[in-house]
Amino acid sequence: MIDIIRGMTQLFFEYGAMGSGKTIEILKVAHNYESQGKKVLLMTPAVDDRAGIGVISSRIGLKREAIAIHKTDNLFTDVSRVDGELAAVLIDEAQFLEPFQVDQLADVVDKLNIPVMTFGLRQDAFNHLFPGSKRLFEIADKLEEMKTICTFCGKKAITQLRVVDGKPQYQGSQVFIGGDETYIPVCRKHWKNPDLKKLKEFFPANKKVSKQ
């Protein structure tokens, strides 16, 4: 969990593989601020519409409404227009941000003196950085990894494996929105060589997924 030092205004990026608890963490941070009577702005990219556009939803059923971020939105302008004093800006699925939007979030920190906490994946299912995550790694003040374990061996998971009809996928669109039925956290070894028998057990054929 990211430690917020009183009076410290920074751009944070908390990242981890699928299933590491990032969404639960952002909802917990929001609750902690609000329980102290402080106002936060929750935002999430519109591309992730699994629970509906503008909804932050965890796999255990916790959810909150949020401002939907579209690809052309100016986040500095959006934050500037919020009424009342903001204690923090919290952004889920930050990997889907455009790089210029990450720069705008840095301006929110530097010019508006509001801490910005972003949560998301480091890399895609092909082990390449998302553009939004890459920019956050380049300019964020503080980076923190949330850890989870490999589905197959229990070692630290560093990425996620995309699975369709029980088969691993190593090519296709970078953004392929599904849920637990389409991605599993894995270590590097099992990303390269997953247990195909277990995959078929975990993911029976003909499950429907949504593609973006």
* Residue 94 counted as an annotated binding residue: yes
* Residue 183 counted as an annotated binding residue: yes
Spatial contact of 88 and 115, defined as CB atoms under 8 Å apart:
yes
Active site residue 34: no
For 174, phi and psi rounded to 5 degrees?
-65, -40
* Residue 23 counted as an annotated binding residue: yes
* Residue 89 counted as an annotated binding residue: no
For 107, the 3-state DSSP assignment is helix
* Residue 65 counted as an annotated binding residue: no
* Residue 8 counted as an annotated binding residue: no
* Residue 176 counted as an annotated binding residue: yes
Out of 65, 93, 181, 201, the active site residue is: 93
* Residue 22 counted as an annotated binding residue: yes
* Residue 92 counted as an annotated binding residue: yes
Q: Which two tokens stand for residue 29?
A: 């941070």
Residues contacting 62, CB < 8 A, separation 6+: 23, 24, 27
Q: Where are the beta strands (DSSP E) in the chain?
A: 11-16, 40-45, 55-57, 63-65, 67-69, 88-91, 116-120, 142-146, 159-164, 167-169, 183-186
Closest CA to 88 of 77, 79, 76: 79
Which residues sit in the known binding site for Zn(2+)?
150, 153, 187, 190
Q: Catalogue the active-site residues.
A: 93
Which residues sit in the known binding site for substrate?
175-178, 183
Which residues sit in the known binding site for ATP?
16-23, 92-95
Which residues sit in the known binding site?
16-23, 92-95, 150, 153, 175-178, 183, 187, 190
